[in-house]
Structure 1
Amino acid sequence: MVKKREINVQDNVISVITHNNEDYISLTDMVRAKEGDFFIEHWLRNRNTVEFLGIWESINNPGFNSLEFEGIKNLAGLNSFSISVKELVKKTFHRIRRN
């Protein structure tokens, strides 16, 4: 069972998700608290970052849309490439329906 909670670190709210008795701290929240969205979007332009995210998600996310991700990966690293976290999630992650 996945549990989500929030912690306050130096007046910034950081999400923590517990899954299988392991805590996962949101690096996105941590970076956003420090520098805003600029560094996150800059980090997502890097081809190595995009490839890493694709491998991670293909292993850990049964709802990962690998076909759509391939198109994104092919553009990553180009000067004209830019993607937000919201756009990446919308394009590559399917919601899993639970009955």
Structure 2
Amino acid sequence: MKAKTMIVMNQDIRTTNSEGEDYICITDIAKMKNPLEPKDVVKNWMRTRNTLEYLGLWEKLKNLRIAPQAFFTIQGT
């Protein structure tokens, strides 16, 4: 993995590239809202319906081994 840093709104945001895929550190982004407890921002974000729907779509596209109904059973829809 190759790590880099970009500056967004005066905040360092770490990025990595693994096997041609780019990833961004959501904890670094959360530090903009709550520098002392970014984990609380991430926990709240992970509970939203839009986030759950996005993760379900990502799983369908990237994880070919997941059963289509498995994510929706976990999500409760």
- Give the shorter-chain TM-score range: 0.5 to 0.7
Task: Give me the CA root mean square deviation.
Answer: 3.0
Say yes or no: does 1:5 pair with 2:7: no
**Number of matched pairs:** 69
Between structures 1 and 2, the one with greater strand share: 2
Residue 50 (structure 1) shift:
0.3
Matched residue type, 2:3: R
Q: Structure 1 vs Structure 2: percent identity of aligned residues?
A: 30
1:19-73 C-alpha deviation (Å, 9 max, x unpaired): 42x5332233321x22111221112221222011110122123465752x33331
How far, CA to CA, are the matches of 2:61 and 2:48 in structure 1? Answer: 20
Q: TM-score, structure 1 length as denominator?
A: 0.48
Structural mapping, 1:1-99, within 5 Å: 3-7=1-5, 14-18=13-17, 19-20=19-20, 23-31=22-30, 33-34=31-32, 35=34, 36-62=38-64, 64=66, 67=70, 69-74=71-76
Please, which runs of 5 or more residues in structure 2 have no aligned partner? none
**Which gives a bigger RCO, structure 1 or 2 (Cα 8 Å, sep 6+)?**
1
